[in-house]
Chains A and B, each alone.
Chain A
Amino acid sequence: MVTKESVLEELLSAPFDIYRNIIVRFIRYYVSRARASKAILGLSGGIDSSLALKLTVEALGNDRVLAVIMPYEGITPQQDIDDAISLAKTLNVEYEYVPLNGVVDKIVALRDGFSDKLVRGNILARLRMLVLYAFANEFGGIVVGTSDKSELLIGYFTKYGDGGSDIMPIGDLYKTQVRKLAEIVGLPGNIVRKPSSPGLWVGQLAEKELGVQYSDIDVVLYLLVEKGYHPRAIKNVSGVNPEVVDKVIELIIKSEHKRKFPRIPKLQHGATVGLDWKYPVWMRF
């Protein structure tokens, strides 16, 4: 019988050695196809970016990776900054420390409404993207995004902020799987056990803001996406809270726009970008 526990067990018994292997090959493949010299990655000291960094280093070697640490000093917990720097040092990768206080404050000062917590948080996330691409341009690199599958599906990311990147190597792993793989690849215990947080304002914690535990979110997502369960059927699974199912489905629906190219009204017969335009990346005519 399918229960919440059995689903969690299945999530955590995925073939992680193969997943790791494919992710590493993918990073290598993409960087080589893009003829990029470097991978540029925003490192927060949280679990996602730490794992993404570790795997990127496995793929490219430590000398072709640049970690960029972009705190808003005073909001970003000092512990995260310390963890990020310490991980960069452990992996022997070059890192840049770029606090964003000055530039965020300048933009926030443009208008009263910009000081709102959410507006300001998204400005911070998008400035990080901007800085990463500046580094990518400077070095001829690509930007490695660090979102995981759970965040992508429930839309827990900033459109064109942390959602803006060239590749997302861990984007097909659920949060609970990220934690497991982080443990397998030997990331420090305090990073593996750290509660998830976008760190956009003081005291922001993912599970607190969402009102749902990631283990619950992942069970619902896994049954929906990997097992093809209708939401109705997920509610019948023992141990799953029906309210959580509704909440997760609502998050998916509300965030669909974030997972799409900007919508374009279709006018002509030929393929429309983002809709029925189907060309593979790295094809050749």
Chain B
Amino acid sequence: MGLKVIVPQIKFREGAIKENLDKILRVIANYDEGLILFPELALVGYYAGDLIYYLAEETQEAIERISEELSSKEDLVVGVGYPELYGTVIYNSYSFIDSMGVIATWRKFHLSTFGIFEEHRYFRPGDLLTRPIVLNEEFSVGVAICYDAFFPSVISRLVNLGAEVIVIPSASPLQSRELWDHILRTRALENNAYIIYVNHVGFKDSVFFYGESRIVDPFGRVVTKAKFGEEDTLQFIIDKDEIIRVSTMFRPTFRDYRSDISDLPLSEE
């Protein structure tokens, strides 16, 4: 039995939480099992500017609404990104939700603040790592949000905690396209993990988000990829045996990884 992954690459509108929630609910209605993954800050359309301050107060209700929609769908899990108001701070968060509610939440550690990105204006960086969660009894899944994937540490740690599938919800404009082509394949290969990249698509203000959501296998091969700049849906069944074969026989990077290198004493010479 594999893990069915569904990536609806659809347009989310800036600030339009109600409209975006409706879109999410409509997608959910089409499926009964698997893991449906929406992109980073999907609920608020990512590029919501200072609306984030208001919207963070409304996301909890939307999350509850999603869970409600899943009440009759026990085999369905939904991943969605949103600004999470926690006490008096806001995190850039991503939660897995099922019929019982939120089952795990990951917070973005590396906030993008360069060029068009101003995440430090709104969010506090994540301070606790959430361990991977087991889905379908045998698939350990973790999340690294967008820019977190540009650093080896978050994914590497999740993999060391058992993750074999890494979800990377993202909001990437055209200018980052080439970088992702490299980094996604590298992260998959160096960790013997499936990488699921979930990007926004279409314009936010005058910035074009290019889509091309994709799944990369543990050998670094792109097994399926959504369209450039268009709405599209990916469906793929992740095969446990493939993970095992690659990471035992062909390129066992996980087995060979030395997490102690940064702590080794320096030689005297």
Query: Which residues of A are at the interface with B, using a C-beta cutoff of 8 A?
Result: 18, 21-22, 25-26, 29-30, 167, 271, 277-285
- A282 vs B48: C-alpha distance when bound (angstroms): 10
**Residue from A25, A281, A285 in contact with B229 in the complex, judged by beta carbons closer than 8 Å:** A25
Q: Report yes or no: B14 in contact with A282, Cβ–Cβ below 8 A.
A: yes
Contact indicator per residue, chain B 20-49, by CB within 8 Å of chain A (1) or not (0):
000000000000000000000000010111
Other 4 A-B pairs with CB < 8 A, given A281-B205, A283-B48, A285-B54: A283-B14, A283-B51, A284-B15, A285-B15
Q: Report yes or no: A284 in contact with B19, Cβ–Cβ below 8 A.
A: yes
Q: Can you spell out 17 A-B residue pairs with CB atoms less than 8 angstroms apart?
A: A18-B174, A21-B229, A22-B208, A25-B208, A30-B206, A167-B206, A271-B50, A278-B49, A278-B118, A279-B50, A280-B49, A280-B51, A281-B206, A282-B205, A283-B16, A283-B49, A285-B54
Chain A residues contacting B203 (CB-CB under 8 Å) are 25-26, 29-30
Q: How far is the CB of B119 from chain A (nearest CB, A)?
A: 13
Top 7 nearest A-B pairs by Cβ distance? A283-B15, A284-B16, A278-B49, A280-B205, A283-B14, A280-B14, A278-B50
- A267 vs B47: C-alpha distance when bound (angstroms): 27
Q: How large is the interface on B (under 10, 10 to 19, 20 to 34, 35 or more residues)?
A: 20 to 34
Q: Report yes or no: A284 in contact with B208, Cβ–Cβ below 8 A.
A: no
- A26 vs B259: C-alpha distance when bound (angstroms): 46
Query: Secondary structure of the B side of the interface?
Result: loop
Chain A residues contacting B15 (CB-CB under 8 Å) are 279-280, 283-285
- A25 vs B208: C-alpha distance when bound (angstroms): 9
Q: Report yes or no: A279 in contact with B206, Cβ–Cβ below 8 A.
A: no
Asked whether B8 is an interface residue with its Cβ less than 8 Å from the other chain, the reply is: no
| A-B pairs under 8 A by CB, number | 54
Chain B residues contacting A18 (CB-CB under 8 Å) are 174
**Residue from B121, B204, B208 in contact with A280 in the complex, judged by beta carbons closer than 8 Å:** B204
Assess A279 versus B49: contact at CB under 8 Å? Given A22-B208, A26-B203. yes
Contact indicator per residue, chain B 46-78, by CB within 8 Å of chain A (1) or not (0):
011111001000000000000000000000000
Asked whether B214 is an interface residue with its Cβ less than 8 Å from the other chain, the reply is: no
Assess A279 versus B51: contact at CB under 8 Å? Given A25-B229, A26-B208, A284-B14. yes
Q: How far is the CB of B56 from chain A (nearest CB, A)?
A: 14
Chain B residues contacting A26 (CB-CB under 8 Å) are 203, 206, 208
Q: Report yes or no: A285 in contact with B174, Cβ–Cβ below 8 A.
A: no
A33: nearest chain-B partner, CB-CB = B203
Q: Report yes or no: B13 in contact with A284, Cβ–Cβ below 8 A.
A: yes
Chain B residues contacting A285 (CB-CB under 8 Å) are 15, 51, 54
**Residue among A22, A29, A167, A282 having the largest count of chain B Cβ atoms under 10 Å:** A282
- A280 vs B51: C-alpha distance when bound (angstroms): 9
Q: How far is the CB of B236 from chain A (nearest CB, A)?
A: 27
- A279 vs B206: C-alpha distance when bound (angstroms): 12
- A271 vs B54: C-alpha distance when bound (angstroms): 14
Chain A residues contacting B81 (CB-CB under 8 Å) are none
- A110 vs B118: C-alpha distance when bound (angstroms): 49
Asked whether B202 is an interface residue with its Cβ less than 8 Å from the other chain, the reply is: yes
Q: How far is the CB of A271 from chain B (nearest CB, A)?
A: 7
- A5 vs B54: C-alpha distance when bound (angstroms): 50
Contact indicator per residue, chain B 127-170, by CB within 8 Å of chain A (1) or not (0):
00000000000000000000000000000000000000000000
Q: How far is the CB of B51 from chain A (nearest CB, A)?
A: 6
- A276 vs B13: C-alpha distance when bound (angstroms): 22
Chain B residues contacting A29 (CB-CB under 8 Å) are 202-203
Chain A residues contacting B204 (CB-CB under 8 Å) are 280
A18: nearest chain-B partner, CB-CB = B174
- A29 vs B13: C-alpha distance when bound (angstroms): 12
Q: How far is the CB of A24 from chain B (nearest CB, A)?
A: 11
Chain B residues contacting A281 (CB-CB under 8 Å) are 205-206
Chain B residues contacting A21 (CB-CB under 8 Å) are 229
Chain A residues contacting B206 (CB-CB under 8 Å) are 26, 30, 167, 281
